[in-house]
């Protein structure tokens, strides 16, 4: 084959090649945060999100939104007519909390397993009614799962080696089931301090298999500044100040669906859930250089609370989200490699 013919073949292949998820939004599930959806998969499909057929691990310190993200994603699967298995080893999820995120616990297959195999055996035996939509499995959290050996008071499992081995065995038998059946499995995990003198000072429990088999790993942590949201009111001439939410940051520490190491800020209001409007307004203001909050170039208000009130009153959430996606794509384009295709 001559050089001219070979070059033409390469160019034709590049021209015909399309991203795996481009335009296929039906295979994506939102996290409830526009900026996190974009950080996860924004370069593969407009708007981003989480693709089906994979295992996702969400880990981080206490009170950094892990359960919130799980229930938000579970609610979004239900909104697309998918079925949900929710495994709650910690036994902490209640109906009222789940409903904040549009997740109906009564409509889910719910249980409180004690041991590692109970979670994964149920996945392999599952037969959802509609296999043509995304169906989801959730576990909150993997760190709370035990083994027969560990629960034996006489024998015990002091080093936790049996649990790590069971995670490895069960994930090895389950990973292809997720892909073949278009399931989305999302698990939360805690973090533990390590004794390492070199490398990471923390690790998620359960051995290395969880990180190895996860196609997407999301690390939650408190925002560097203003991690707590306060609200002040006056009652009987007395000023009262309370914490009403938290600001966190989510980092994509591993990704097999797009680029790793993207980050996204999230605001979680305790009695509301993920405040996507707040972060979207802030994103537009920051990256357009505007001095006030805006939508479509039109000024809203100087303060964010009044701007949020206006967006919600006029039902402009979708328009704001579209503006954020378009602006994010313009910024992302600046980081795109302009090198010619490989021969």
DSSP, residue by residue, 54-107 = -EEEEE-STTSSHHHHHHHHHHHHHHTT--EEEE-TT----HHHHHTTT--GGG
Q: Which H or E run includes 339?
A: none
Average pLDDT over residues 112-126: 95
pLDDT for 151 equals 63
Distance of CA 85 to the CA centre of its chain: 17
Over residues 28-48, the pLDDT tens digits come to 999 999 999 999 999 999 999
Q: Pick 186 or 100 by higher pLDDT.
A: 186
Closest-CA residue to 73 (of 140, 172, 156, 170): 140
Q: How does the average pLDDT of the chain come out, rounded? A: 89
Over residues 138-193, the pLDDT tens digits come to 999 999 998 877 765 556 555 557 889 999 999 999 999 999 999 999 999 998 87
pLDDT for 266 equals 98
What is the pTM (predicted TM-score) of this model? 0.89
> Which residue in this structure is represented by tokens 């001219």?
4
Determine how β-strand 202-203 pairs with β-strand 216-222.
unpaired
Residue 164's contacts (CB-CB under 8 Å, 6 or more residues apart) are 206, 207, 208, 209
CA distance 151 to 149: 5
Query: Per-residue pLDDT for 10 more than 50?
Result: no
Average pLDDT over residues 221-234: 94
pLDDT for 195 equals 65
What structural domains does the chain harbor?
25-271 (3.40.50.300), 275-334 (no CATH)
Percentage of the chain modeled with pLDDT above 90: 77
- Over 137-183, what HEC string results? EEECCHHHCECHHHHCCCCCCCCCHHHHHHHHHHHHHHHHHHHHHCE
pLDDT for 159 equals 52
Neighbours of 176 (CB within 10 A): 11
> Which residue in this structure is represented by tokens 């409903």?
99
pLDDT for 343 equals 86
Predicted confidence band at 210 (pLDDT cuts at 50, 70, 90)?
very high
CA distance 195 to 217: 22
Neighbours of 292 (CB within 10 A): 13
Query: Per-residue pLDDT for 64 more than 80?
Result: yes
CA dihedral defined by 169, 173, 175, 179, rounded to 10 degrees?
A: 180
Predicted confidence band at 135 (pLDDT cuts at 50, 70, 90)?
very high
Query: Per-residue pLDDT for 23 more than 50?
Result: no
pLDDT for 122 equals 95
pLDDT for 199 equals 64
pLDDT for 153 equals 58
Query: Per-residue pLDDT for 14 more than 50?
Result: no
Distance of CA 248 to the CA centre of its chain: 13
């Amino acid at each position: 084959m001559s050089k001219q013919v070979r070059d033409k073949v390469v160019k034709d292949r590049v021209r015909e090649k399309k991203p795996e998820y481009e335009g296929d939004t039906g295979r994506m599930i939102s996290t409830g945060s526009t900026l996190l959806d974009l950080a996860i998969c924004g370069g593969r499909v407009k708007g981003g999100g989480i693709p089906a057929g994979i295992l996702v691990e969400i880990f981080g310190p206490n009170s950094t939104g892990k359960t919130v993200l799980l229930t938000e994603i579970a609610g979004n699967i239900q909104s697309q007519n998918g079925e949900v298995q929710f495994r709650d080893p910690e036994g902490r999820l209640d109906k009222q909390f789940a409903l904040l995120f549009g997740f109906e616990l009564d409509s889910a297959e719910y249980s409180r397993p004690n041991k590692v195999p109970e979670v994964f055996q149920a996945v392999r035996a599952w037969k959802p009614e509609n296999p043509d939509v995304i169906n989801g499995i959730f576990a909150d959290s993997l760190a709370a799962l035990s083994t027969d050996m560990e629960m034996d008071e006489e024998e015990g499992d002091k080093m936790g080696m049996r649990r790590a081995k069971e995670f490895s065995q069960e994930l090895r038998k389950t990973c292809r089931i997720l892909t073949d059946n278009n399931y989305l499995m999302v698990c939360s995990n805690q973090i533990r301090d390590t004794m390492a003198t070199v490398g990471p000072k923390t690790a998620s429990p359960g051995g290395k298999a969880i990180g190895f088999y996860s196609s997407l790993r999301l690390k939650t942590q408190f925002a560097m500044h203003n991690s707590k949201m306060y609200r002040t009111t006056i009652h009987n001439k007395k000023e009262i100040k309370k914490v009403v939410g938290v600001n966190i940051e989510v980092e994509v520490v591993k990704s097999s669906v797009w680029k790793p190491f993207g980050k996204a800020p999230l605001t979680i209001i305790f009695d509301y859930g993920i405040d996507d409007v707040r972060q979207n307004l802030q994103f537009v203001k920051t990256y357009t250089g505007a001095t006030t909050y805006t939508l479509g170039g039109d000024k809203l208000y100087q303060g964010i609370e009044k701007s949020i009130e206006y967006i919600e009153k006029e039902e402009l959430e979708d328009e704001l989200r579209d503006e954020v996606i378009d602006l994010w794509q313009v910024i992302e384009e600046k980081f795109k490699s302009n090198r010619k295709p490989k021969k």
